[in-house]
Amino acid sequence: MPRESSLKRREPTTQFEAPELMFAELDGLLGYLLRRAQGAMHRDFMAAVSDFELTQKQAAALWLIHANGGVSQVEVAAALGMDRATMMAVTDRLEDRGFIIRKRSSVDRRRQELYLTPSGQSTLKKCKARIAEHEEKFRDMFTASELAALLEALKKFQTLG
Amino acid sequence: MPRESSLKRREPTTQFEAPELMFAELDGLLGYLLRRAQGAMHRDFMAAVSDFELTQKQAAALWLIHANGGVSQVEVAAALGMDRATMMAVTDRLEDRGFIIRKRSSVDRRRQELYLTPSGQSTLKKCKARIAEHEEKFRDMFTASELAALLEALKKFQTLG
């Protein structure tokens, strides 16, 4: 069957078929490619940890609270680059699900310390195993030196964020 | 003043000071670094185009519709990797703001064609100039060969998305 030449008359056979549009350099933009790459990895992350119903932000918070028992909400937010409102929503959700507890500091009564519950610890452990597989899948696309260069390049973005 | 040794007694002086938490390899994860890099670039994008109140997705859709006059919503969605609902929200918003129009195809009555209005064209043109400056800022962090390698690496992610 001859390929149709006119875009206007072309009907994609499924909604997932990517039509051959003119990108007019959009797909050469660093910002565009970064967003698409993050979108791809985000979808795979959500599928990998779907049993636990954790978002990337919630998983990262759980990870950091575990590694820094007694840390405050403000400290986790700063380390992860989240604003106050986002961090509040994340910790509320993790607390509601019984994964973390808030404890008032015995040293400074104004300070609330965050800790993982046993359920939070067990979930994080299982979640980390899934994340490791998910990471591996993407890392495997690169040679060791390509991967090292990519990680180094990605770290630089935070200096401009 | 001696640096305090206990994390628990450490009070950040501002909410923006990143405390020195243990990352326990979280910041070595490709997924984590990609999300942070995208976050940094997204914030800068939003600031760069703030006059136009366009999201990255809306700007990308405007860009593609301009380069492919008469394209359908389904085709733009597939090219940008957006699902139907997201694309619908994007085109509704662009139409409400008078940047695009929907026209029924004279060839296929079931097909709706998308076109930029003069206002959409003028907004896209101004927006592209801001995006070019925003891109430049991030590209400037890299040498030409580092940048080429980074763009190449980012393109690979879509094969797994």
Least Cα distance to B139 among B154, B160, B158 occurs for B154
**What integer pLDDT is reported at residue B127 of this predicted model?**
97
What tokens appear for A115 in the block?
């800790």
**CA A89, A93, A99, A101 torsion-angle sign:** positive
From CA A55, how far away is CA A103, in angstroms rounded?
A: 24
Give yes or no for residue B12 having a pLDDT over 60.
no
**What integer pLDDT is reported at residue A110 of this predicted model?**
86
Give yes or no for residue B16 having a pLDDT over 90.
no
What tokens appear for A91 in the block?
């910790």
Task: Assess B7–A contact: CB distance below 8 Å, yes or no.
Answer: yes
Q: What is the DSSP-derived secondary structure letter of residue B53?
A: T
**What integer pLDDT is reported at residue A158 of this predicted model?**
87
Q: pLDDT for B56-109, tens place per residue? A: 999 999 999 999 999 999 999 999 999 999 999 999 999 999 999 999 988 888
Q: Which of B36, B42, B146 sits opposite A158 (nearest CB)?
A: B36
Half-sphere exposure of A100 (CA within 13 A, CB side): 29
B79 compared with B160, residue with greater pLDDT = B79
**Which residues make beta-bridge pairs with B71?**
B114
**What integer pLDDT is reported at residue A118 of this predicted model?**
98
Query: Chain B contacts of A135, Cβ < 8 Å?
Result: 29-31
Query: Chain A contacts of B63, Cβ < 8 Å?
Result: 24, 26
- B101 close to B115: Cβ distance less than 8 angstroms: yes
- Cα dihedral angle (B11, A109, A120, A90), rounded to 10 degrees? -70
**pLDDT in 10s for each residue of chain A, 161 residues:** 344 444 443 444 344 445 589 999 999 999 999 999 999 999 999 999 999 999 999 999 999 999 999 999 999 999 999 999 999 999 999 999 999 999 998 888 888 999 999 999 999 999 999 999 999 999 999 999 999 999 999 999 988 86
B12 compared with A27, residue with greater pLDDT = A27
Angle between helices A30-48 and B30-48 in degrees, nearest 10: 140
CA-to-CA dists, residue A111 to A90, A128, B13, angstroms = 18, 29, 14
**What integer pLDDT is reported at residue A19 of this predicted model?**
54
Query: Chain A contacts of B66, Cβ < 8 Å?
Result: 24
**What integer pLDDT is reported at residue B19 of this predicted model?**
54
Query: Chain A contacts of B38, Cβ < 8 Å?
Result: 34-35, 37-38
Cβ under 8 Å to B: A residues 49-88: 56, 60, 63-64, 66-68, 70-71, 74-79, 81, 84
From CA B138, how far away is CA A161, in angstroms rounded?
A: 10
Question: ipTM for the complex?
Answer: 0.85
Give the pTM.
0.84
**What integer pLDDT is reported at residue B161 of this predicted model?**
67
Give yes or no for residue B141 having a pLDDT over 80.
yes
**Which residues make beta-bridge pairs with B114?**
B71, B102
Mean of per-residue pLDDT scores for chain B: 89
B97–chain A nearest CA distance, Å: 22
What is the arithmetic mean of pLDDT over B11-26? 65
CB contacts < 8 A (A, B)? 240
